[in-house]
Amino acid sequence: MNKARYHSQVPSPVGVLTLTSDGDALTGLYMENQKHRPELPAHSVRDDSRFTAVREQLAAYFAGELQCFDVRLDAAGTEFQQRVWQALTAIPFGATETYGGLAARLGKPSASRAVGLANGRNPIGIIVPCHRVLGASGALTGYGGGLARKQWLLAHEAG
């Protein structure tokens, strides 16, 4: 269940981003037409003031001035998904990793498919950088926000 009670929308080079929060932490960052994007809860209230820090950090990221976000996160997911999402945050800006490499780093070398599924369910795109994960051959594979956005984000981070 999405804990978000507040939301905001932010224009970006990859389209309008929807931010969600439970009032204490960021619970979601979704792109337009994103796969697995939940509907906003009926009780969610638009309150841009609750997202000032994340909006400023996203602006700095897209301007090429920020490489590491400092935002309190609270993504809802299974224990395994949480482990995958935490591991994503360790992939440095401008770097990439394969699903198999991420699975091995988690101590589950045969779980690259499960890592891919968890990666695809990441509710906090960009800040939890699931776009930095590639197929075994280094090819751009699956991205909930669409491959064109993944390609743009990787090119942006490559400079």
Cα 31–chain centre separation: 9
**E strands in the chain:** 6-10, 17-21, 26-31, 45-46, 97-98, 133-134
Overall number of domains in the chain: 2
> CA separation (Å) from 51 to 20, 29, 139?
9, 11, 34
Q: Are residues 56 and 86 in the same domain?
A: no
pLDDT at 11 over 70: yes
Q: Are residues 91 and 39 in the same domain?
A: no
Q: Average pLDDT of the chain?
A: 92
Q: Are residues 53 and 102 in the same domain?
A: no
pLDDT (tens digit, 9 = 90+) per residue, 88-141?
Answer: 999 999 999 999 999 999 999 999 999 999 999 999 999 999 999 998 877 777
Q: Alpha-carbon distance 128 to 83, whole Å?
A: 12
User: Residue 31, Cβ neighbours under 10 Å: how many?
Assistant: 20
pLDDT at 4: 54
Q: Are residues 29 and 90 in the same domain?
A: no
pTM of the model: 0.91
Q: Are residues 40 and 87 in the same domain?
A: no
pLDDT (tens digit, 9 = 90+) per residue, 12-49?
Answer: 999 999 999 999 999 999 999 888 788 887 889 999 99
What is the identity of the amino acid at 75?
A
Q: Find all residues with CB under 8 Å of 17, minimum gap 6, and list them.
A: 9, 10, 11, 29, 30, 31, 58, 125, 126
pLDDT at 116: 92
pLDDT at 87: 97
Structural domain containing residue 110: 79-158
Q: Which of 4, 19, 88, 130 is catalytic?
A: 130
68 catalytic per annotation: no
Helix (H, G, I), strand (E, B) or coil at 133: strand
pLDDT at 1 over 80: no
pLDDT (tens digit, 9 = 90+) per residue, 44-91?
Answer: 999 999 999 999 999 999 999 999 999 999 999 999 999 999 999 999
Q: Are residues 107 and 150 in the same domain?
A: yes
Q: Is residue 68 in a domain? A: no
> CA separation (Å) from 3 to 52, 131, 157?
19, 24, 30
